[in-house]
Homo-oligomer: A and B are copies of this chain.
Amino acid sequence: MGIFWSIYQSVMIDFFTTDNTTRLLPVYRQFLEEHVYPIEREVISRPFRQSLTQLQKLREKAKEQGLFVPHLPKEDNGPGLSLIEFAQVSELLGTTPIGHFIFNCQAPDIGNMELMHAFAAPHLNDTYLKPLQRGEIRSCFAMTEPEFAGSNPVLMGTTAVRNGDDYIINGHKWFTSSADGASFTIVMAATDAASSNPYERASMILVPLPHPGVKLLRNIPVMGESGEDYMSHGELQFTDCRVPLSNIIGEEGKGFALAQARLGPGRIHHCMRWIGICQRAFDLMCQYAASRSLGGQRMLGHQQVIQFWIAESKANIQAARLMVLHTAAAMDKFGARAVKEEISTIKFFVARVLMDVLDKAIQVHGALGITDDTILAYWFRHERAARIYDGPDEVHKASLAKSILKKYGLKFERL
């Protein structure tokens, strides 16, 4: 793994180096090398609950070293990093499938933390956000519905009807990641389905779990694995699910605005992590190419076509990283609204690079590449979703193009 890091620290990355990254990146690296890489394959190949104790110990260790919740400010016991600094930490954690979980900055919890920190009432934050930040509980986010295309946010079948001091929620959600075992969900539901402004129909409401009105129908089998606990994607039925009106996040009718606010940073978080996956896959590809003999001293890496894959992957990863770091730096400086185009851009650009690098790394490994003897096949099947979740590539491309073409004077009925 020594080579890995020396490759990693290329001349380019220095431009984004700060005192924090200089100090912390080596510490995170050492933690990963000592504690995480050695166990990652075991964790992902057995039912997740069997690893909880082991992972909890690592979380404690991370806390002791001040490495826990790297996205949080110091007042919340995080290291207080800027986004450009966190981007580099997150890329690092992304080099292993269990990195973000151990440091409690994993989706969907990180998104819920950000959302609640910005918009939730203090009583919700005391009860739910604080233990979430401390890693004592997990959460989930129930937005997608199987009956309606997610690319059209106006379509939503779940309703939340006021009844006295309560909302009564009915509806059907799926791809509620990590619902199995979560202590609460934030659910998107139509509170005013008849509103003339379709973007003001929905609200976000916190529902504690387990709850008599919420049934986990199944952990959806995704690419052959239903998974469990954190590593699962739940299908939920809400039936006359009653929660207090005060469980609303932000204002009623602002659900879509909150979703945008939540998803924007969420997308860059995914991108950061994807760069880490790319870098690790690239490293595995180079290691194997340099050491797998085709007979005598002739190695795979002497094959020109494999050299080309390595060169093209290097270029693509570098491009992806620069775009993500740049967007992070711009968000630090100008805020999330200013980089809307950039967020869309990196969402589809990095997802494509990710799938391409994984595919090439697998092909270099040959039959070994499709086994679970490396972690490549895990990412190959689970990150296929990268081009779909948080808005499929196609939605982001159309959105970016429309934003550009509007500057050239083209009219759209609606963006």
Q: How far is the CA of A45 from the CA of B218 in the complex (A)?
A: 15
Residues 270-328 of A contacting B (Cβ, < 8 Å):
286-287, 289-295, 297, 299-308, 310-312, 314-315, 318-320, 322-323, 326-327
Chain A 94-114, CB within 8 Å of chain B: the 1/0 string?
Answer: 000000000000000000000
For the complex, is A174 an interface residue (Cβ under 8 Å from B)? yes
Residues 363-391 of A contacting B (Cβ, < 8 Å):
363, 366-373, 377-378, 380-381, 384-385, 387-389
Segment at the B interface, from A54-62, A117-125, A184-192, A406-414: A406-414
Cβ-defined contact, B301 with A11, below 8 A: no
Segment at the B interface, from A19-27, A132-140, A242-250, A395-403: A395-403
Q: How far is the CA of A315 from the CA of B369 in the complex (A)?
A: 26
Q: How far is the CA of A363 from the CA of B304 in the complex (A)?
A: 16
Contact of A289 among B320, B323, B339, B408 (CB under 8 A): B408
Cβ-defined contact, A149 with B7, below 8 A: no
Task: Count copies of this chain in the complex.
Answer: 4
Contact of A15 among B299, B329, B372 (CB under 8 A): B329
Cβ-defined contact, B342 with A11, below 8 A: yes
**Chain B, residue nearest A289 (CB):** B405
Chain B neighbourhood of A362, CB < 8 A: 384
Q: How far is the CA of A174 from the CA of B398 in the complex (A)?
A: 33
Contact of A175 among B301, B308, B311, B367 (CB under 8 A): B367
Contact of A224 among B312, B368, B372 (CB under 8 A): B372
